[in-house]
Structure 1
Amino acid sequence: MITTKIFNNTKRAFSLKTDGELNRAIFMFKSIGSPVMVKVGTFLTNVSLNLRLPVEGLIKKTVFNQFCGGVTEEDCLPNIRKIYTKKLHGILDYSVEGKETDEEFDAATQRKINIIKFIADKPEMPFAVFKPTGVGAFDIWAKVTNKETLTAEEEESWNKIKDRVKRLCKTAYDLDVCVLVDAEESWMQDAADDLIEEMMALYNKEKVIIFNTIQCYRWDRLQYIKDLHERGQAKGFKIGAKIVRGAYMEKENARASKMGYPTPICEDKEATDVNFNAVMAYIMNHLEDFELFIGTHNEVSSYLAMQLTQDRDLAKDDGRIWFAQLYGMSDHISFNLAANGYNSAKLIPFGPVRDVVPYLIRRAQENTSVKGQTGRELALLLEEKDRRKGKHKKTIH
């Protein structure tokens, strides 16, 4: 049985933070713990950027530095190499959103390809990542998902999207770099699932290179993973599964209500937790056909994954099982997992400050909607501050 509560070790979790960085983190989590402050901050940020007011410096010193690794890949390297001294890996995520033209999508695709090349010889960065709507228009993904007839122009756009995805996946395969593909809203996701499955069939024959993301707040995902497993066995490919709870709950429920169809989202947080753990257990029972990337900030699910690893007599550092959390969050999970021998990573967003603001706003909004998450983060940070104060007092006396 997993009896030692490793995630309570704040000394280890925040060992790389200076007192100043610890205080900044406390300020940030106090701020995003307040829905009112998040709403006001979001409004003021958007207005300031639209009016071209000089606020980028302030954003960079606060929320950007908390949740992003830097502006460029090179900016992120010192942070990644620092956490790697604690056996924690980094995953670069160029988090620029909201592009609309073919030229922008081509440029974003090339940027992602360059990142794959950049990390290919760096063991501290074992994964690349891309978002389907980062390489093609949301409306095209949605129309293909809903099996709508495409115009000739839309058909051309869809072919370009498929080409971009294939170029990304082939580059990853050629350079032996694993790539994680994000999941998005349900009404565009089928097209992404189908295309990524095609890429798995092409490139996951001998080992897993391509990972699709399974959003477990969707009640249909356990059956989806079982069906995908059957198809993988029949066609002779392995499955990369990144499992997360999900990021678009309020939007999903609102759209379902407005359009009069059953929501694809589990009825409550408890049902989501049960679904996440069931998907995780199913995959861990079939690791001969899967590799599992556990993207969670949930301690209970993390302990369960550790227990399942032990129950199946698997090595803690079995290469088929990875844990990951977002940069700037849940250091108590990431650093303690790494210190205890598990494969652990931080997803590190980066990009120009102005371009990354939509990502940062979404991150703040998600934190206010996750019950208990921000409070837990803040409590641990304050506990570490108190621990350091106590140590300082002892030193003085």
Structure 2
Amino acid sequence: MAVRITQKLLPRFKKSLNTSATPISLEPSLNLSVKKPIEKSKLTEEFLRKFKTSFNINNISARSTFIIGKTSPTFSQNQGIGNYKVDTSEEKTLDFDDGKRLFKSVTTGKLIRSILNQQMASCDPIVNIGIWVMRSRLFDISIFRYIILFVVKHTFYDHFCAGENLDEARTTLQKLWNGGLKGIMDYGLEDATDNTSCDRNFNEFLRIVDTTKLLPPSSVSYACVKITAICPNSLLKKVSDLLRWEHRDPSFHLLWKVDTLPVLSKSSPFYHTLDKPNHLTPTEEYDLERAHQRLLKLSEKCLEMNLPLLVDAEYSSVQPAIDYLTYSTMIRINRHGNRIVHGTIQAYFKDAKERLIQATETAEKMGVILGLKLVRGAYLSHESSLASSLGFSSPIHENIQDTHACYDECASIMLEKVSKGTGAVVFATHNIESGKAAAWKAEEIGLEKNNEKVQFAQLKGMADGLSFALNNAGFLVSKYLPYGPVEMVIPYLLRRAEENKGLLATSAVDRQLMWNEIKRRLKAKIIRRV
């Protein structure tokens, strides 16, 4: 449709444009180096209105305004999307204005597909219907199953996942590497139920680490592992109960426990364990030791390959056990300058900062480099619902502003530890404000942008604008690349879809950045034809 309109309007459109102005932007507020304002005629406005309508993208809304500059970033919830305020008084840390440079490695077709997929993923009715269908009995009917898998494969799966096997994931990684980004190979499994499935998953994790030898040097930044994939979930739950009870009652001794960092604080939620739990049986102790050995062997393999390992976070019901296994392994591996094992702090928990401070202080006393991945958290609804059902207040911060503040405070703490040589951090965030704040803080305290102990990460298919801006500024940036057969990673996709409903504002900002670049490319193409 845009081509037909163009053919009719080109003669008059040419007169309405100031083609001497460079660079050309459709958004005056983003055009920082225009020598002369572009005066758009009514005809130009009509052309743009029709083109935008054809993509139905103007209905995207978000409430974010951000300052681009080397001043402390600010956040507003009273503005429409795309309302950038540019601070020109100081050198910019991250540049979101130059769309041509930002998305130079992304084709127009891919930009459009990304916008559409993110728009669908952030639309509650579409997400809710999709979740219902994939969890309903329709999924057990062959023809419906085939149709559902076909649709999922060519929409959400292709957008958020790297491929159905390791070979396809390597191909996706190579494309990212060519565009300047690194990859984090993520075997898209959910929970294991027994030692057989744990061993199978463990061997796959080892294979992922081994395959990095076949990839371009430094193209893989981290390996990652889910403890729930190498230790039965029921055992993690019981160990977490025992750790909580021990924290409440110092006389309650756990004979199987080895040296670790603090996993609980005074403000941690304890409602999961209302009654004194039974001790582990000999079989459970053996299974726990097997799980610990799996993580230790994987960490030793990563140490041999000089490949850092990220341990994912889970529900609060099992997180104490995950932190226990992670930190006890970290104590053995992260010495003598090694920063291999990384745990995860979820900033949406009220006790996150307190637990972080406890861990940093203890790690320093033990001579251990504390490696952490800092995230906001992905299970808000689950955590709040569980607490409410038990008659307790939510362990989650009361509002998003408190979560943002906690994230930024934890980020600042970890950057200070990095500067002292006692920490390593991965900022896993899709939030532009937090990305800018961390980048600005790192620069302020004098950390090199290519310091391997300070890295950023986003999910494949999310926050590409932030990823490219950080990379262009010189920081090390990676994309999480989950992979596996479509049916196997459906639980992962369901979780992604549910999480994205909470990431709507961030996703909308990213879509607007991509939309601005599509408009710029269209306008440049039209001018070349004139």
TM over 0.5: yes
Do 2:463 and 2:506's aligned partners in 1 also have CA atoms closer than 8 Å?
no
Q: Conserved in 1, the CA contact under 8 Å of 2:122 and 2:504?
A: no
| CA–CA separation in structure 2 for the residues paired with 1:383 and 1:26 | 11
Secondary structure of the structure 2 residue equivalent to 1:92: strand
Contact 1:129 1:180 in 2 (8 A): yes
**Distance of 2:503 and 2:158 partners within structure 1:** 22
2:176/2:182 contact within 8 Å kept: yes
Bigger mean CA offset, 353-362 vs 385-394: 385-394
- Asked if 1:238 corresponds to 2:374, the answer is no
* Alignment correspondent of 1:306: 439
How does 1:41-120 map onto structure 2 within 5 Å? 41-47=130-136, 48-52=138-142, 53-55=145-147, 56-120=149-213
Select which of 296, 317, 324 maps to 1:194: 324
Residues 79-110 of structure 1 show CA distances to partners (whole Å, capped at 9, x for unaligned) of 22222223211111011214323211111111
Deviation at 1:194, TM superposition (A): 1.4
- Aligned equivalents of 1:36 and 1:76: distance in 2? 31
* Count of residue correspondences: 397
2:403 maps to 1:272: yes
The 8 Å contact of residues 182 and 477 in structure 2, kept in 1 or not, is answered as: yes
Normalising by structure 2, what TM-score?
0.72
Q: Is the 8 A contact 1:239 1:291 kept in 2?
A: yes
Matched, 1:132 2:227: yes
Contact conserved, 1:128 with 1:178, CA < 8 A, in 2? Answer: yes
Q: Equivalent residue for 1:367?
A: 500
For 1:241, give the aligned amino acid.
L
My pick for the range that moved more, 8-17 or 112-121, is 8-17
Matched, 1:31 2:149: no
Residue deviations 1:101-128 (CA, integer Å, cap 9, x gap): 3211111111001111111563100210
Offset at residue 212 of structure 1 (A): 0.4
Match of 2:390 in 1: 259
After the TM superposition, list the runs of 4 or more consecutive aligned residues in structure 1 that deviate by more than 6 angstroms: none
2:348 corresponds, among 204, 207, 217, to 217
Alignment of 1:310-329 (within 5 A): 310-329=443-462
Which amino acid in 2 is paired with 1:31? M
CA contact (8 A) 1:367 1:373 kept: no
Aligned to 2:523: 390
Stretches of structure 1 that go unaligned for 5 or more consecutive residues are none
- Asked if the contact 1:13/1:334 (under 8 Å) is kept, the reply is no
Distance 1:314 1:33 in 2: 36
* 8 Å Cα contact 1:8-1:332 kept in structure 2: no
Q: CA deviation at 1:180?
A: 0.3
Superposition deviation, residue 8 in structure 1: 3.8
Q: 1:334: which partner in 2?
A: 467
Deviations for 1:109-156, whole angstroms, at most 9, x for unmatched residues?
A: 110011111115631002100111111122211110111322344333
Per-residue Cα deviation, 1:326-376 (whole angstroms, up to 9, x for no partner): 111111011121122111111111111111111111111111123512322
Question: Residues of 1 paired with 2:291 and 2:450: CA distance?
Answer: 36
Structure 2 CA distance for aligned equivalents of residues 71 and 274 of structure 1:
38
Asked if 2 retains the 8 angstrom alpha-carbon contact of 1:217 and 1:272, the reply is yes
Larger Rg: 2
Report if the CA contact (8 A) 1:120-1:176 is conserved. Answer: no
Classify the secondary structure of the residue corresponding to 1:69: coil
- Cα deviation, 1:51-81, whole Å, max 9, x if unaligned, reads 2321323222111111111112211222222
Q: Which is helix-richer, 1 or 2?
A: 1
- What is the identity percentage for the equivalent residue pairs of Structure 1 and Structure 2? 27
In 1, are the aligned partners of 2:432 and 2:506 still within 8 Å (CA)?
no
Deviates more, 1:84-93 or 1:206-215: 84-93
For 2:413, the aligned partner's letter is Y
Match of 2:334?
204
One-letter code aligned to 2:140: N
Q: In 1, Cα distance between the equivalents of 2:348 and 2:475?
A: 25
Tell me by how many angstroms 1:219 deviates: 1.5
Q: Which residue of 1 aligns with 2:422?
A: 289
Is 1:141 aligned to 2:141, yes or no? no
Q: Which residue of 1 aligns with 2:9?
A: none
Q: Specify the alignment match of 1:10 in structure 2.
A: 99
- Higher relative contact order structure (alpha carbons within 8 Å, sequence separation ≥ 6): 1
Decide which moves more: 163-172 or 287-296.
163-172
Question: 3-state DSSP class of the match of 1:328?
Answer: coil
**Separation (CA, whole Å) in 2 of partners of 1:344 and 1:312:** 20
Whether the 8 Å contact between 1:179 and 1:209 is mirrored in structure 2 is: yes
| Contact 2:463/2:507 (8 A) holds in 1 | no
CA distance in 1, matches of 2:107, 2:445: 39
Task: Summarize the Cα distance change of 1:8–1:38 in structure 2 as closer, same or farther, 3 Å threshold.
Answer: farther
CA drift at 1:290: 0.1
| 15 and 78 in structure 1: CA distance in 2 versus 1, 3 angstrom threshold | farther
TM-score, normalised with respect to structure 1 = 0.95
Question: Which of 120-129 and 201-210 deviates more?
Answer: 120-129
Opposite residue 96 of structure 1, the aligned amino acid is L
From 342, 347, 350, the counterpart of 2:480: 347
SS in 2 for 1:90: strand
Tell me the distance in 1 between the aligned counterparts of 2:507 and 2:458.
14
| Deviations, residues 245-294 of structure 1 (Å, cap 9, x unaligned) | 00111101111111123422111100000000011101111211001111
- Aligned counterpart for 2:511 among listed residues 378, 382, 392: 378
- Deviation of the 1:45 alpha carbon: 3.0
Question: Within the alignment, does 1:156 sit opposite 2:245 as a pair?
Answer: no
In structure 2, distance between residues paired with 1:36 and 1:329: 20
Distance 1:354 1:320 in 2: 36
Q: Tell me, which stretches of 5 or more residues in structure 2 are unaligned?
A: 1-68, 71-90, 243-276
User: 1:17 & 1:317 partners in 2: Cα distance?
Assistant: 23
Measured in 1, the distance between the counterparts of 2:406 and 2:300 equals 32
